[in-house]
A and B are shown apart, each in its own frame.
With several copies, the nearest count.
Chain A
Amino acid sequence: MKSRNCLKKAKVILMSEKLINKGIRPDGRKLDEIRPLKIKAGVVDRADGSAYVEFGTTKVISAVYGPKKVHPRHMENSKKAILKVRYNMIPFSVYDRKRPGYDKRSVEIAKVISEALENVIFLEEFPKSAIDIDMEIIQADAGTRVAAITAASVALADAGIPMRGLISSVAAGRVEGNIVLDLTKEEEDVSDAIDLPIAMLARTGEITLLQMDGDASVDEIEKIVRMTEKGCRDIEKIQGKALIEKYNANTA
């Protein structure tokens, strides 16, 4: 992605213009509007549950296997299911080809996503079992992790795994002083940009994932987090719709 960042930055500087004018963003969105979001449940035949998500130009597939036996067996927990979460970018999902395999970034993201989902799934209903969640980034633009969680959540529901609700995920941040929802790559590259990805149990407003990089006051953080609340509720509706469509297709 580096090469592209470089170019975008140059463009921004050369133009010496604002990206956001009168509350309208380069792609025509309002400040608190998410990018177009397409969700399709049940896309991987072999999996127990799966989902494909297009979040703007970011594309991700997630699949869930389980509850199933734990292998090797000494890893099993007699009280609850263990969750194995993998996040990966396929080699040609980014401008600079990524070597196959997990790097430190993907290990960290898998960890925070696992923790974002752990309390939401009724793991204690499946002692001595494993639930595997795999997320594969097919095309990477802004917001790969939030697209991935959004997909994983639908895949879990599609697999019929009981949850306290759907986890929805989006980033918000600051661009040219504006608090905006769901930044694009172009917006992330503005010099004052902050990006704050969040995952939320939208039903209760509980925040189960939160990361942030940048330089912001506590006030700004509060406004940004509040904006993600709206985003997550919007996303939850689209997630629910995708699940109903899948259900209807199956029973049709």
Chain B
Amino acid sequence: MTAKLTKDYIVNQIKRNIRGDDRKLDEMRELTIERGVSANAEGSARVKLGKTEVIAGIKMDLAEPYPDSQDKGVLTSSAEFLPLAAPEFEAGRPGEVEVELGRVVDRGIREAEVIDFKKLCIVEGEKVWRVFMDIVVINHDGNLMDASGLAAMAAILDAKMPTIDKEYKIDYNKREKPLPLTTIALPITVMKCGNKLIIDTTADEEEAIDTRLTVTTNESGNISSMQKGGPGGFTVEEIVEICKIAGKKTDELIKKHFKSKKK
């Protein structure tokens, strides 16, 4: 069976509401979130979404604030496809897919104001906490956006801030308070196949269908970030429908995996 035939087969099955792993179109794969996977990080989490595996980590240090937000902490993000995660991943400068992944996850957290950056200001205009949010992909079996967003959110919740002395020297061994938070926000990516909408796609499915909309929703059900990807297009109705799916799924995920752990 050639690659083309496989793709056609996957598409035809999806049109009949059938997926390779017997899931429903709007059903996520099994999700496990393990926190504290790298003790040297302020916070970290490993997310397994089916066979997709992503680790996110939070590191913190002190930096100058940006000129246009002198009283706020700073967020710096990166996403990296480790060469071990898939045969097609190459070491070297991050490609455009990695850049987009990092920026979409970053904006989801930033625009939802998940972290209360005003509380990360130490001396206005001079010294603020800088939060590094790094995402590494360990195994790529599709839906890296949602897995990365889940890992980032879990790492943020896992994080304990290091302490500083009077001379602003950081003690990474004495980590005390959690990061100040205002909400929880998660991305849900919905892909389009003919007139079907499908979530949490595997790598095989993403070979066959490629147009997606990622919607980040917060605890209150509001949308903080959207990003369309892939060559195809959407109608207004589809976009609204996708927003609703994302809202519903985010709500379920927060209830099941985050709610109890947030204070």
- Residues on B with beta carbons closer than 8 Å to the beta carbon of A100: 78, 80, 94, 134
Which of B's residues lie within 8 Å of A, judged by CB?
37-42, 44, 51, 53, 55, 57-59, 61, 66-68, 78, 80, 82-87, 91, 93-94, 96-97, 99-100, 102-103, 107, 111-113, 132, 134, 136, 138-141, 170-173, 203, 213, 218, 221-236, 239-240, 243-244, 247
Interface residues of A in 156-214 (CB under 8 A from B): 196, 201, 205-214
Q: Give chain B nearest CB distance to A170 CB in angstroms.
A: 14
- Alpha-carbon distance between A90 and B138 when the two chains are bound, in angstroms: 11
State whether A44 touches B138 (Cβ < 8 A): yes
Q: Is A226 an interface position by the 8 A CB rule?
A: yes
- Alpha-carbon distance between A9 and B234 when the two chains are bound, in angstroms: 35
State whether A91 touches B96 (Cβ < 8 A): no
State whether B221 touches A134 (Cβ < 8 A): no
What's the dominant secondary structure at chain B's contact region? mixed
State whether B171 touches A7 (Cβ < 8 A): yes
- Can you list the 7 inter-chain pairs with the closest CB atoms, starting with the nearest? A92-B57, A63-B84, A206-B233, A92-B41, A97-B59, A118-B231, A212-B226
Q: Give chain B nearest CB distance to A144 CB in angstroms.
A: 11
- Residues on A with beta carbons closer than 8 Å to the beta carbon of B243: 218, 221-222
- Residues on B with beta carbons closer than 8 Å to the beta carbon of A59: 37-38
Q: Is A215 an interface position by the 8 A CB rule?
A: yes
Given contacts A63-B85, A94-B40, A218-B243, 15 further A-B contacts (CB under 8 A): A3-B67, A4-B173, A46-B86, A46-B140, A91-B132, A93-B41, A97-B59, A105-B103, A108-B103, A138-B38, A196-B226, A206-B233, A218-B223, A221-B223, A221-B243
- Alpha-carbon distance between A105 and B221 when the two chains are bound, in angstroms: 28
State whether B227 touches A112 (Cβ < 8 A): yes
State whether A3 touches B68 (Cβ < 8 A): yes
- Residues on B with beta carbons closer than 8 Å to the beta carbon of A90: 38, 55, 57, 80, 82, 134, 136
Q: Count the A-B residue pairs with Cβ separation under 8 angstroms: how many?
A: 206
- Residues on B with beta carbons closer than 8 Å to the beta carbon of A134: 82-84, 91
- Alpha-carbon distance between A105 and B104 when the two chains are bound, in angstroms: 11
What's the dominant secondary structure at chain A's contact region? mixed
- Alpha-carbon distance between A105 and B173 when the two chains are bound, in angstroms: 25
Q: Count chain A CB atoms within 10 A of each CB in B99, B102, B230, B247 and give the residue with the most.
A: B99
State whether B223 touches A216 (Cβ < 8 A): yes
State whether A104 touches B224 (Cβ < 8 A): no
Q: Is A126 an interface position by the 8 A CB rule?
A: no
- Residues on B with beta carbons closer than 8 Å to the beta carbon of A217: 221-223
- Residues on B with beta carbons closer than 8 Å to the beta carbon of A76: none
State whether B85 touches A207 (Cβ < 8 A): no
Q: Give chain B nearest CB distance to A32 CB in angstroms.
A: 15
State whether A221 touches B239 (Cβ < 8 A): yes
Partner of B233, one of A6, A107, A140, A208: A208
Q: Is A132 an interface position by the 8 A CB rule?
A: yes
Can you list 17 A-B contacts with CB-CB less than 8 angstroms, sorted by A residue number?
A: A3-B68, A7-B173, A45-B141, A46-B85, A57-B39, A88-B82, A90-B134, A93-B57, A94-B40, A108-B99, A112-B228, A139-B37, A209-B228, A212-B225, A215-B112, A218-B221, A218-B244
Q: Is A110 an interface position by the 8 A CB rule?
A: yes
- Alpha-carbon distance between A128 and B224 when the two chains are bound, in angstroms: 41
Which residue of chain B is the closest to A106 with respect to CB atoms?
B99
- Residues on A with beta carbons closer than 8 Å to the beta carbon of B226: 196, 210-212, 221
Q: Is A236 an interface position by the 8 A CB rule?
A: no
Q: Is A129 an interface position by the 8 A CB rule?
A: no
- Residues on B with beta carbons closer than 8 Å to the beta carbon of A235: none
State whether A136 touches B67 (Cβ < 8 A): no
Partner of A4, one of B44, B86, B172: B172
- Residues on B with beta carbons closer than 8 Å to the beta carbon of A105: 103
Q: Count chain A CB atoms within 10 A of each CB in B96, B223, B232 and give the residue with the most.
A: B223
Partner of B235, one of A46, A91, A207: A207
- Residues on A with beta carbons closer than 8 Å to the beta carbon of B134: 90-92, 97, 100
State whether A213 touches B111 (Cβ < 8 A): yes
